[in-house]
Structure 1
């Protein structure tokens, strides 16, 4: 059955595009399996490859008739090792390695870095984490052109692996020139979401939003929380951003790994309070890189993210370079569906709150949900030109399946980030009767609606002349359903 359906998961799935899934056929299959948003990771590939990926995604969206969204992930100031003289390099406990200036090491124990100011900003006693925290070192001595480090946690290093410096205050900007260039390209290409890596303060987010505004882009800005400084300025960052990503890979290195689960809950709670969509990412089904089934711990991880209040879960290498990209999406979808059945039975009426920034919209969304639940409506329909009303409604967590209907293609794609909101394309929004007839025809053709079913319709700001918001209850006409079936 073509998507969306009333039976699909409410939590959204983001899948990273890479060599394992970048053909048109695979992208269509991923959409049909449950992907709502595709991620283009600018840390890999060229501008030409990113443009080709975007072209294929839009083509796959058209072929599947589903308005899938696109997230452009800016790589940010990710600090990496240079080329190792010995690659791979085994690092034993107590072994001494040295960061040196320049790009060319002269000895197997010398390391170089993509960050030219590293030697200036490292201090004796600083911790250095390499390869996602697998190898740990501490700086034991330093000169102008060399910082000697002692290995405190052994492992194997490879060229170009990441460097994390927990607690070290770096002067590097959150947006490098190539990030600015990629953001401008994304704005001009009509990208739906742009995520900013290594955010440290709300001003980082505002800088990207100002840049996008100058190019008249409607892209939503997603702040990636992966630095301790971001946790310290969390409320302001959430307030400034359009959405947030719990980027557990680097966050779990920048803070102690034992702190990561509580940090995830704190970030999700902050987003729920401020009604911002939140994405949980990194190693959600990591074993599915090479195995068709996840571990039980990974299944529990996905389920717990949903129970915590996540709006989206993201797959990275599982779909980009894994052996089972389709199976990973299908597995995540099954976990979501089962978890949500239990989640929805435990929702309480006190979950509703009126948002101070959008008091009327949130009050109307709350009333519509309560009305739909009390009359056992089959569907809640939100008509919106921008997606704003659907955004507010999604944070209220409706027990009734919700359709976000619009004649604006950009709004339809943006709604793929909102929990529980299923985007449906309609021809117009101004005539409520014609609008409901279109929804009736859509639902009856797909056998999701039947004659006599109740539907609650909410119109957003500006949809109807001089109407701030409007809520109506409709009964599906059996005769119109018969016409649709025929």
Structure 2
């Protein structure tokens, strides 16, 4: 039976595509197991490869009969090491290294990088963190063509690994030419979500929004929070964006790793206040790269993200290059369902209005949730052309299964990011009576609803332009 299924988790699963799940059959099995959004990481692979991945995702969706969303992750100004003379290279404590200009190392102690002006922006005392913080260098002396550094945290590095510069103010733009090119391609191909790496200000987000709009895209923009500057401007960034990703990999290197859990909770809290969906990402089930079971700490990490209010959790290497991609998705779903069972909704939620949704729609949708809770309804159905009404319904955090009904495939795909909303396709939106009959038939056949069960519908009468102002309580005949 194709999705949606009323018994699946309400928190959404984002999975990164890579060699471990590169076939249509593998992608289809992940969709059936619970993946709602597939992530294409533009930091790896060519345009030709990305085109192929997108085609396979759409084909897998058609095969399963359920349209998942696609998130294109723009690499942003990620600074990387060049090619090392010795690969991998050990960096013992107190060893001396030189960061030099160019892209060719002439000696084992010379390091190059992808950011041409790095030497100009470093100062003595700055930290240079390599390999996601596994190795730390301290800048000792800066000259015209090099920066002499000493190892203060030892470890091993490899070519092309990331460089983080906590506390260093970089002049590089949030979108490099390759990011602009990838964003335009995303618009042309109907990509559903586009995430921007290393966001530092609301203007970074607005710049990407303008670019997508200029090319006719309705893709949602996801701001990745992974820089201290983003935390400094968090409220304005969340206000400007359509959604947020807590990118804990780089964030945990750019700030003190001990502060990362508190930062995550703050980001989620601000997103809830401003009615924006939030994805928690990086190392959620890291051990499942090579193990069929996660650690207890990883299970607790996923559960705590859900309890904090995350709309989605993301798998990265677990599905892209891990040995157990299908098991990782299934485990993520199991943790989500177990956590949600113990989660209690505490009365009426105060849902803030935003620019997406008419104030009448916000009030009616919130009231419909309260009605459904009070009569122990088995299903809530939100009819929406744009998906905005489902956006409000998601924020109510009701445990009653909720269908987001639309006749737009693009709208249905974008709704895959919204907590608790199960996208459902219908051909006609204006015939309320026909819609009720169709949903009742589906609910009896697939949802386990029986005679006498209640379904609450949220729709509009057309009296108020662009507003949902009708709540219908229907009893299954």
* TM-score exceeds 0.5: yes
Q: Comparing 403-412 with 445-454, which one deviates more in the overlay?
A: 445-454
Asked if residue 154 in structure 1 is aligned to residue 144 in structure 2, the reply is no
| Alpha-carbon distance, 1:304 to partner | 0.3
Q: Which residue of 2 aligns with 1:355?
A: 353
| Residues 467-478 of structure 1: pairs in structure 2 closer than 5 A | 468-477=468-477
3-state SS in 2 of match to 1:3? coil
Deviations 1:239-286 (A, max 9, x none): 000000000000000000000000000000000000000000000000
Deviations 1:146-177 (A, max 9, x none): 10011010000111000000010001001000
Deviations 1:288-314 (A, max 9, x none): 000000000000000000000000000
Alignment RMSD: 1.3
Query: 2:234 and 2:244 mapped to 1: Cα distance?
Result: 10
Deviations 1:45-97 (A, max 9, x none): 11111011111101111111111000000000100000001111111111110
Which stretches in structure 2 are left out of the alignment for 5+ residues? none
Aligned length: 475
Q: Which residue of 2 aligns with 1:166?
A: 166
| Residues 185-264 of structure 1: pairs in structure 2 closer than 5 A | 185-264=185-264
Asked whether the equivalents of residues 351 and 395 of structure 2 are also in contact (C-alpha less than 8 Å), the reply is: no
Query: 1:202 and 1:33 mapped to 2: Cα distance?
Result: 36
Deviations 1:439-467 (A, max 9, x none): 11211221522222110000159699786
Asked if residue 87 in structure 1 is aligned to residue 118 in structure 2, the reply is no
Asked whether the equivalents of residues 13 and 36 of structure 2 are also in contact (C-alpha less than 8 Å), the reply is: yes
Query: 1:84 and 1:467 mapped to 2: Cα distance?
Result: 59
Structure 1 segments of 4 or more deviating over 3 A? 460-468
Q: Residues 384, 124 of structure 1: CA spacing in aligned structure 2 closer, same or farther, 3 A cutoff?
A: same
Asked if residue 50 in structure 1 is aligned to residue 50 in structure 2, the reply is yes
Q: Which residue of 2 aligns with 1:381?
A: 381
Asked whether the equivalents of residues 15 and 38 of structure 1 are also in contact (C-alpha less than 8 Å), the reply is: yes
| Alpha-carbon distance, 1:353 to partner | 3.0
Q: Which residue of 1 aligns with 2:97?
A: 97
Query: 2:217 and 2:53 mapped to 1: Cα distance?
Result: 20
Asked whether the equivalents of residues 382 and 460 of structure 1 are also in contact (C-alpha less than 8 Å), the reply is: no
Q: Residues 202, 27 of structure 1: CA spacing in aligned structure 2 closer, same or farther, 3 A cutoff?
A: same
TM-score w.r.t. the length of structure 1 is 0.96
Q: Residues 239, 111 of structure 1: CA spacing in aligned structure 2 closer, same or farther, 3 A cutoff?
A: same
Asked whether the equivalents of residues 81 and 161 of structure 1 are also in contact (C-alpha less than 8 Å), the reply is: yes
Which stretches in structure 1 are left out of the alignment for 5+ residues? 478-486
| Alpha-carbon distance, 1:355 to partner | 2.1
| Residues 280-291 of structure 1: pairs in structure 2 closer than 5 A | 280-291=280-291
| Alpha-carbon distance, 1:472 to partner | 0.7
Q: Which residue of 1 aligns with 2:70?
A: 70
Q: Which residue of 1 aligns with 2:324?
A: 324
3-state SS in 2 of match to 1:349? coil
3-state SS in 2 of match to 1:60? helix
Q: Comparing 351-360 with 457-466, which one deviates more in the overlay?
A: 457-466
Q: Which residue of 1 aligns with 2:416?
A: 416
Asked whether the equivalents of residues 275 and 354 of structure 2 are also in contact (C-alpha less than 8 Å), the reply is: no
Query: 2:297 and 2:73 mapped to 1: Cα distance?
Result: 27
| Alpha-carbon distance, 1:179 to partner | 0.3
